[in-house]
Amino acid sequence: MSRGRALLAAAGVLLALAAATSMIAAWWLHRPGPALAAPVELSIAKGMRLGAVAQQLAARGLLRHPLPLVAWARLTGRDRAIRWGDYRFTRPLSPLELLERITGPPDALHAVTVPEGLTVREVVAVLAGAGFGSEESFLCLLEDPVFLASVDLPPEGAEGYLFPDTYAFPLAMPQEEILRAMVRRFRAVFGPDLELRAADLGLDVQQAVTLASLVEEETARPEERPLVAAVFLNRLRRGMPLQSDPTVLYGREAGDRTITRRDLRRRTPHNTYTTRGLPPTPIANPGRAALEAAVTPATVPYLYFVARGDGSHEFSTDLAAHRAAVARWQRRQQAP
């Protein structure tokens, strides 16, 4: 056989091998994955490389062999399009279908509800309990001046600005992005309109949020929130101490919430029995209703209020009436 014919024959063999390899690769790429006994949820962390993702897919029983998927993705440039987040798989998918899924929008699988009136530490405990990371790592971020500055929060911290709401985050979402989303939600609620209303009352944003946190902690009744806000603003204008019981409890470890006379006399920056004016920071994270009440108080002359024991309060304009109300409700509570 001449050299030319030998080369042609070799070329033909190579082409045949290439064609066969291509057919096998195409078969592997289009072949559905293993049967699933139950839906599989997969978290892809931010920055995870395709090889690691493919290994994870194989380990979870979604992919027979990582190599064809990785090779095809690199050949087509799709290896740089992997999106982090959570994905839910309910049926067997071919490697090509898997590639489409992990380069497409992730599923928002995990909802978490943050109630109104929680402190930052309590919010962090809720987030950690929902599986979004450790409390320690959240708190490290919230104590980092660089992070606080990056989301335009005061150096004192994020208290008051982690807006209570129901959120849906992928479990793989970075913790700083979760916190940023909560602060963005606060900014969306406490927007220019509420800022202008606060300014009309002589309050900056921090003072308005602090006042709202007191309102949030003092009453859960919608009709009472503007009244409570009015009492505190009236007292501020007169230079009277706010004497808000929740400020006495702020910073205390969870447990007994009883307030003693000694507690009332304890000098702390947040204790409004011993320190005049608003506390230096909010004492909780208020919801929309408390924020709106703080900057839209009722037009009333009240200076005092006392709990009735059923979640409502009695409001008074002078000390004598207030003392009479306190005595009246104390007698009712002590009655058999």
Q: What is the mean pLDDT of each run of 10 residues along the chain (336 residues)?
A: 52 42 56 84 86 90 86 85 86 87 83 95 96 94 96 95 94 90 97 97 97 96 97 97 93 71 85 94 97 98 91 92 87 69
What's the gap between Cα 129 and its chain centre?
A: 12
Q: What is the pLDDT of residue 11?
A: 44
Q: What is the pLDDT of residue 223?
A: 96
> pTM of the full predicted structure?
0.77
Q: What is the pLDDT of residue 188?
A: 97
Bridge-based pairing of strands 313-316 and 110-113 is unpaired
Name residue 12's amino acid: G
* Tokens read off for 85: 């987040």
Q: What is the pLDDT of residue 254?
A: 64
Write down the domain spans for the chain: 1-30, 31-106, 110-189, 192-302
Q: What is the pLDDT of residue 4?
A: 55
Residues making up the chain, counted from first to last: 336
Q: What is the pLDDT of residue 335?
A: 62
Give the up-direction half-sphere exposure of residue 140: CA atoms within 13 A in the CB hemisphere.
7
CA dist 305 and 315 (Å) reads 4
What region does 117 belong to: left with phi over 0, alpha with psi -120 to 50, or beta? left
Domain 31-106: what homologous superfamily?
A: Endolytic murein transglycosylase (3.30.1490.480)
* Tokens read off for 40: 């599989």
**For the chain, first and last CA: distance in Å?**
116
CA dist 295 and 206 (Å) reads 12
Alpha helices in the chain (DSSP H): 3-30, 50-59, 66-76, 95-102, 120-129, 135-142, 145-150, 175-189, 192-200, 205-218, 225-238, 245-249, 261-265, 288-295, 319-334
CA dihedral 33, 34, 38, 43 (to 10 degrees): -50
Q: What is the pLDDT of residue 22?
A: 47
Q: 112 by DSSP, 3-state: which?
A: strand
Instruction: Report, in angstroms and rounded to the nearest whole number, the Rg of the chain calculated over CA atoms.
Output: 31
Name residue 230's amino acid: A
Q: What is the pLDDT of residue 225?
A: 97
* Tokens read off for 268: 């702390």
